[in-house]
Amino acid sequence: MVRQGDYPQSMLHRKKKNVQKVNEGNDEWRSDGKEDKLMRRKPTWLYPKTILVSFFAGLLIFVLVYINLRLGPSPINHEIFPKSPETCVITISALNNFGFVVNLYDSVMDNSPEIECFIWYLGDISEPTSAEGRKGMADISKEIDMKPKFKLVTMKEMEEKNFDHFEIEKFAFMFDLVELQTTIKPFAFQYTFQHFGAKSAIFLDNDIWVTSPLIEIEKQLKRHSAVVTPHVSAPIPEDGKKLNNKNILQTGVFNFGFVAFSNTDTAASFLRFWAEQLSLYGFTNLEKGMFYDQNWGMFIPAFFDHDDYYVIRDHRYNIAYWNMHYTGKGLHMRDGEPHIDNPATNKPEKTVFIHFSGISLLEEYNMDMISRYQNRFTLEDFPHIRDVLLAYTDRLTAHNTMHYRRLPYGYDKYSNGMKINAQERRMYAAAAFPARDITFKAGEDDSVYESTLSCFVRAIFQRDVEWMNPFCASKECLSDMSKITFLQWFVSSTLERPVDLKGALFFTSLEYNVWRSRPDLQAVFTDPTGSSYDGFKAWFNGSGPVEEGMVDSGLREIWRETWKDNIQNDSKYHKQVESSDDIGVNVYGWHAGLFSIGIVAIKMFRAAQAVNLPSNAIEATNAISKQYVSEDVLGIEFTRSCNEAVNLVVMNADCTSQFVIDFPQGLRDVKYNIGYWLWELDVFPDFWMPNLKIYDEIWCATDFIKNSIENSDGYDGTPIRVLAIPNETEEEIVEKEMEIPLSLKKNLRGSSSSKPFVFLVVFDFVSSEQRKNPGAAIRAFMSAFPLSDDPDGKKHQLIVKTHSGSSEQTANIKTIAKDDPRVIFINALLSDEENRALHNYQDCHVSLHRSEGYGMNILESMAVGIPAIATNYSGNVDFFEAMPKLENKCTFPIPYKLVELEDLYGPYTKGNHWAEADHESAVLAMRKAAEYNCKKQALGREMIKEVKNHFGPEAVGKQMKFLLNEALPRIIAKQEASK
């Protein structure tokens, strides 16, 4: 309600102008030459008709005022203070703590009447839907209206202020009641400063009793940007009780039941930082270093100058259970007011404010324990405190606190009235956590919530779920009918794996979390998604989970309906194959990986798409210590559905255990599983051969790998077939003059059309420097083109591009070049743009490797008309044999001799064999390549077409279809066996 006396000056000015304008209009209406008659008129209020109208108007106003008083005015007061207040006291709570709030207000005004405003930020729904809630809000409205300095601000009003990161629905669902109140604290300070124009603001928890003027705090706020109090100013005894010094370290050195800021740039900067952090991490989980809003306060000494923040260590401030070891003995009532003995003089002094943390559950409060959060002291230790506690609880009773405590929390239920539990909030928090859109290390815990989900699961969640409307529990309240509700997602998803278990295999995170929380269940049902599936399902569907309070009855009923739907629609989730037209593939792997097998996975998925083969891209659980890019960069949509009949598992043999973890036995049993393996030596390691039993078939990239597996002692006869890795390099790149990125200009001389003839060597140290053998290419280059013939490097240049190398590793390679200025080293992970530019810049690709499983860089160079010099051994032989007419002009296979490994090199064991490229042949090939310059010849264009015809996505996709059709009888047979 806006009171007349509270109009801002600007509003009063507008009122006067409007009145003047009306009067001027009346004069114009009457300026018709009858001024004398106008002047002689009786006052209009003397006419009987006017008197009658005035009477009824007055009666109507009286009735409206009476109704307003009966119903209670809206507590949402939109007026701005007549002037910018010097200091505002602010607090935050849900509706049910209003008794505490109004008690705090009265204690502030009783002791510091100079405080110009008191603002209650409501961390609750402002328009209750229940009758009890509406009645409670009406009572609150009446109370507020009688307190002139009391203002209420709702979360909706705060959201309208367009603060960064402030989202009501998201906050109210992901955080529980207490977490929500503390998360909005920095936003409350921002609103107080920006909307009300306060010069300073003091936050007080509403379970605080202010007992003396706050003048000292106000004074310090005029000198400092922040004022805080520590939990303790003396160590807590190490007696095995709680709380202890470690607890203080975990929860924060400063207690943020009180914190104050002045309206300065420094404070504003900290509030923005604090608000952003709490929007993501504003929950409590001591194991992960989070405790509501509070432990972020430890940044204050780091972010504020030493003379711009003030720590109140006075024992009269913020007295609470955590400092009872030095405040408890001296705390007592004196002349009806709380006092505390001065430790220096032993004389009593009035306290300033006492923090009664831990007594808010008044109906359960045990006064003898002082606070439910500690067990060190009881009232037997400090009997004088009883009078203080009684005085405070009497105040709460006087403010009708228990009446308000019964009010329901507005963000506690879904739209259908079902209660939201902690597990649902945590799962939502984990899924709503922003998926990173930049390169990151897998294996990093990039979400701090209790249920850590990969960025790909989060991306799928945020794509498929109407997640900004989480309280919606039915399709009726969805704004986008193509999406599902969070509740539907929660009761149907298996988030511990990258695939959802659907159909007859239906199993959810709801079940998993119950199973995980109970060791007795784990002992009885050892494999709830496999051998123990039926037994665990029967238990979960019984009365136990609900009776024991593990699952809400409403939630379990929704789960039952979802389970029933899955069973009835099993063929939707697990397609049945009757002919080749029914075959599709679930391409499972690290599609987003910036490493070889990850790159192969995404290429296989795109090859399937190129020939319209039904396919799903399923991202495997993150591999440790591998680099990833985001889904957006890849431009594909991942899924958690494995509804196709065939699993194409693009993982090397040593990663089979990851497939077993991500795809439980039951799911593997109903699919035809094909492993895609790479290997670089002539005999496959026998210790990996047992993994063949997990698969129905193995595909590999080259005949060399196929022979390697079949030559191993552990080979069991599993079908092994060859499917090349598709090449996706753009064929027009060779024609295009590309701008060299600034990041590469310091290494590359000239433009892509005006430069020396450039040879390029590319390898990753992780792939084994000994196997890649870059030193052979460096030595061949220096022999082919002596430095004395080209001292300025205008004719020839060799670029050695590496990544993942340590400074020691790169230094060792550089010594081979003997400071030859024409040999350029680049040790970095390049962007796609930089890689394209580098590939376009080269004139010849060189790989004098000792063995290759495939040779992707060789093929990608040939695909754009760039000649390739490579050891004529292992995987890349397939490229050269497919294009024999290009030999010695655009392809240069280098002869070799086999040598035995005399040591262990990563996974390559002593006693194996690999190739040593012939040095003289490599020297001659380099000279021929530079002389012919295939890149500029018609034969280079011919090579582009040949690569596309043999190894392009469409060519590989057709071969994929052929292999699947060939496997059709085996696919159908396994399908039948699993029924």
Half-sphere exposure of 682 (CA within 13 A, CB side): 12
Q: Does pLDDT of 372 surpass 50?
A: yes
DSSP category for residue 850: S
Contacts of 565 (CB under 8 A, 6+ apart): none
Q: Does pLDDT of 241 surpass 60?
A: yes
Residues 353-378 have a mean pLDDT of 84
pLDDT tens digit sequence for 904-938:
888 888 888 999 999 999 999 999 999 999 988 99
Q: Are residues 596 and 717 in the same domain?
A: yes
Q: How many domains does the chain have?
A: 5
C-alpha pair distances (Å), 803 with each of 240, 768, 806: 52, 12, 9
Tokens (6 digits) for 801: 């591009």
Q: Are residues 587 and 566 in the same domain?
A: no
Q: Does pLDDT of 888 surpass 50?
A: yes
The residue that leads in pLDDT, 587 or 455, is 587
Q: Which of 573, 607, 631 is the last residue of a domain?
A: 573
Q: Are residues 615 and 516 in the same domain?
A: no
Structural domain for 232, as ranges: 87-316
728 occurs within a structural domain:
no
| Cα separation of the two ends of the chain | 71
The residue to which tokens 């705390």 are assigned = 331
Position 58 scores a pLDDT of: 57
Q: Which residues pair with 507 in a beta bridge?
A: 501
Residues 355-377 have a mean pLDDT of 83
Residue-by-residue DSSP string for 761-788: EEEEGGG-HHHH-HHHHHHHHHHHS-GG
d(CA 44, CA 53): 12
C-alpha pair distances (Å), 227 with each of 117, 119, 483, 647: 19, 19, 47, 61
Q: Are residues 487 and 546 in the same domain?
A: yes
What is the residue type of 94? A
Nearest Cα neighbor of 665 from 512, 493, 529 is 529
Q: Does pLDDT of 869 surpass 90?
A: yes
In this structure, are residues 566 and 506 in contact, taking their beta carbons and an 8 Å threshold? yes
pLDDT tens digit sequence for 409-450:
999 999 999 999 988 998 898 888 764 433 333 334 444 455
Burial class (CB in 10 A: 0-12, 13-18, 19+), 765: middle
pLDDT tens digit sequence for 856-866:
999 999 999 99
Q: Are residues 561 and 644 in the same domain?
A: no
Tokens (6 digits) for 771: 């196997």
CB atoms within 10 A of CB 649: 30
397 occurs within a structural domain:
no
Q: Give the 3-state secondary structure of residue 913.
A: strand
The residue that leads in pLDDT, 541 or 628, is 541
Contacts of 295 (CB under 8 A, 6+ apart): 250, 251, 252, 289
Q: Does pLDDT of 45 surpass 70?
A: no
Q: Are residues 474 and 602 in the same domain?
A: no
Q: Does pLDDT of 816 surpass 80?
A: yes
Tokens (6 digits) for 715: 């080979």
Q: Does pLDDT of 497 surpass 90?
A: no
| Helical (H) or strand (E) element with 841 | helix 832-841
Q: Does pLDDT of 544 surpass 50?
A: yes
732 occurs within a structural domain:
no
481 occurs within a structural domain:
yes
Nearest Cα neighbor of 762 from 841, 693, 696 is 841
Q: Are residues 793 and 928 in the same domain?
A: yes
Nearest Cα neighbor of 117 from 191, 209, 216 is 191
CATH number, domain containing residue 118: 3.90.550
- Reported as a pLDDT band with limits 50, 70 and 90, residue 749 is low
- Reported as a pLDDT band with limits 50, 70 and 90, residue 20 is very low
- Reported as a pLDDT band with limits 50, 70 and 90, residue 37 is very low
d(CA 598, CA 588): 10
d(CA 584, CA 611): 11
| Helical (H) or strand (E) element with 402 | helix 401-405
The residue to which tokens 């192969």 are assigned = 600
Q: Does pLDDT of 737 surpass 60?
A: no
Residues 380-408 have a mean pLDDT of 94
pLDDT tens digit sequence for 624-665:
555 667 555 577 889 999 999 999 999 999 999 999 999 999
CATH number, domain containing residue 631: 3.40.50.11930
Peptide bond into 362 cis (omega under 30): no
In this structure, are residues 243 and 372 in contact, taking their beta carbons and an 8 Å threshold? no
Tokens (6 digits) for 57: 């108007």
Tokens (6 digits) for 882: 């497919």
Q: Are residues 218 and 198 in the same domain?
A: yes
Contacts of 440 (CB under 8 A, 6+ apart): 446, 455, 627, 628
Contacts of 443 (CB under 8 A, 6+ apart): 622, 623, 624, 625, 626
211 occurs within a structural domain:
yes
The residue that leads in pLDDT, 822 or 837, is 822
Q: Which of 573, 588, 603 is the last residue of a domain?
A: 573
Contacts of 897 (CB under 8 A, 6+ apart): 915, 916, 918
Q: Are residues 626 and 691 in the same domain?
A: yes
What is the residue type of 499? V
Position 443 scores a pLDDT of: 39
693 occurs within a structural domain:
yes
386 occurs within a structural domain:
no
- Reported as a pLDDT band with limits 50, 70 and 90, residue 36 is very low
Q: Give the 3-state secondary structure of residue 598.
A: helix
In this structure, are residues 567 and 506 in contact, taking their beta carbons and an 8 Å threshold? yes
CB atoms within 10 A of CB 219: 12
Position 32 scores a pLDDT of: 38
Q: Give the 3-state secondary structure of residue 298.
A: helix
Q: Are residues 50 and 144 in the same domain?
A: no
Tokens (6 digits) for 446: 């990039």
d(CA 277, CA 260): 19
pLDDT tens digit sequence for 125-160:
988 888 888 999 999 999 999 999 999 999 999 999
- Strand 646-650, strand 337-341: pairing: unpaired
- Reported as a pLDDT band with limits 50, 70 and 90, residue 67 is very low
pLDDT tens digit sequence for 306-338:
999 999 999 999 999 999 999 999 999 999 999
Position 499 scores a pLDDT of: 94
Q: Does pLDDT of 41 surpass 50?
A: no
Q: Are residues 553 and 460 in the same domain?
A: yes
pLDDT tens digit sequence for 119-131:
999 999 988 888 8
530 φ, ψ to 5°? -130, -110
Nearest Cα neighbor of 491 from 536, 569, 558 is 558
Position 636 scores a pLDDT of: 84
What is the residue type of 166? F
What is the residue type of 526? T
Residues 483-496 have a mean pLDDT of 91
Q: Which of 547, 573, 599 is the last residue of a domain?
A: 573
In this structure, are residues 890 and 867 in contact, taking their beta carbons and an 8 Å threshold? yes
d(CA 877, CA 879): 5
In this structure, are residues 897 and 913 in contact, taking their beta carbons and an 8 Å threshold? no
In this structure, are residues 217 and 260 in contact, taking their beta carbons and an 8 Å threshold? yes
Whole-number mean pLDDT of the chain? Answer: 87
Q: Does pLDDT of 730 surpass 70?
A: no
Report the share of the chain in percent with pLDDT over 70: 86
Q: Does pLDDT of 539 surpass 50?
A: yes
Q: Does pLDDT of 47 surpass 70?
A: no
Tokens (6 digits) for 939: 């034969």
Nearest Cα neighbor of 92 from 183, 9, 20 is 183
CATH number, domain containing residue 932: 3.40.50.2000
C-alpha pair distances (Å), 947 with each of 8, 202, 214, 315: 78, 72, 81, 81
CB atoms within 10 A of CB 637: 12
- Strand 440-441, strand 627-628: pairing: antiparallel
Report the share of the chain in percent with pLDDT over 90: 70
Q: Does pLDDT of 341 surpass 90?
A: yes
342 occurs within a structural domain:
no
In this structure, are residues 485 and 474 in contact, taking their beta carbons and an 8 Å threshold? yes
Position 807 scores a pLDDT of: 87
Angle, CA of 642, 646 and 651, to the nearest 5°: 85
What is the residue type of 280? L
Q: Are residues 179 and 295 in the same domain?
A: yes
d(CA 449, CA 218): 38
